[in-house]
Amino acid sequence: MSIRILLADDHGIVREGLRFLLSREDDMEVVGEAEDGRNALELTRKLLPDVVVMDITMPNLNGVEAARQITHEFPKVKVVALSMHSDRTFVVSMLKAGASGYVLKECLSDELVEAVRIVAGGSWYISRKITGVVMGDYVNRLLETTESPLEILTDRELQVLQTVVEGKSTKQIALGLHVTTKAIEATRRKIMEKLDVHNIPELVMKSIQWGLISLQR
């Protein structure tokens, strides 16, 4: 089954290029295009895509707010930010808004294809060039807090947490731990309840804050 993709960018030539790029993949289908954030929200409601590839700087409704509304209204729809901005403010804002991926426009086209596949599979993706931006945002918080999930998570939950934030899919984790995907999904829900987080990007950032993982690739 193809990954159904909605493109959102206020530049028609960019959308045309993205459509050409993604439509070459056998497992991907571009089902719609939006010229601004508000149109992206409307088309998401109408088309229910699997993934929305979205620019941040758009008229009417910016990408951050559009991502927040889309992920709130449609939790199963994944958002991949495609932006020229590598600044910490933009990256963190999109992740906090619920985006599952962040790719720089300057990156090679193969990276966007990889990001779409990864987030469609239920994992997160951050462009290799900006992983340090995300990690750096939480270094000071790590030094300022003594709170640790080590005291509230079981060994198995910590094991699952590690693999989730490393970007492995539910199926991969289940195979590695020799359990069912349902068991992994249940454990992941329990982890998020205990840590009071609501999506995978937030879980990743919390894990960085607590020093449980590294984002080196």
**32 lies in the same domain as 104:** yes
| Cβ(137)–Cβ(88) below 8 Å | yes
pLDDT in tens, 176-196: 888 999 999 999 889 888 888
Assign residue 204 the CATH number of its domain.
1.10.10.10
The per-residue pLDDT of the chain, averaged, comes to: 85
CA-wise closest residue to 115 among 52, 189, 35: 52
Whether 34 and 102 share a structural domain: yes
Q: Per-residue pLDDT averaged across 183-210, rounded?
A: 83
Give helix 155-165 / helix 170-177 axis angle, nearest 10°. Answer: 140
Q: Is the domain of 22 the same as that of 91?
A: yes
Residue 154 lies in a domain: yes
Number of domains into which the chain is organized? 2
Distance from C-alpha of 47 to C-alpha of 74, rounded to nearest angstrom? 12
CATH code: domain of residue 76: 3.40.50.2300
pLDDT tens-digit series, residues 46-66: 999 999 999 998 888 899 999
Structural domain range at position 117 = 3-130
Claim to verify: residue 70 and residue 45 sit in the same structural domain = yes
- Tell whether 70 and 10 lie within a shared domain: yes
DSSP secondary structure code for residue 2 in this structure: P
Residue 213 has pLDDT above 60, yes or no: no
Q: Are residues 120 and 189 in the same domain?
A: no
In contact, 6 and 31? CB cutoff 8 Å: yes
Asked if 110 and 145 sit in the same domain, the reply is: no
User: Any idea how long the chain is?
Assistant: 217
Q: How far apart are CA 184 and CA 187, in angstroms?
A: 5
Final residue of a structural domain among 64, 96, 130: 130
Q: Which of 14-23, 99-108, 191-200 has the lowest mean pLDDT?
A: 191-200
Give the DSSP letter of residue 90: H
Please give the single-letter amino acid code of residue 115: A
Q: For residue 216, is it within any domain?
A: no
In the predicted model, is pLDDT for residue 18 greater than 70?
yes
Residues of the chain with pLDDT > 70: what percent? 86
User: What is the helix (H) or strand (E) element at residue 152, kind and residue range?
Assistant: none
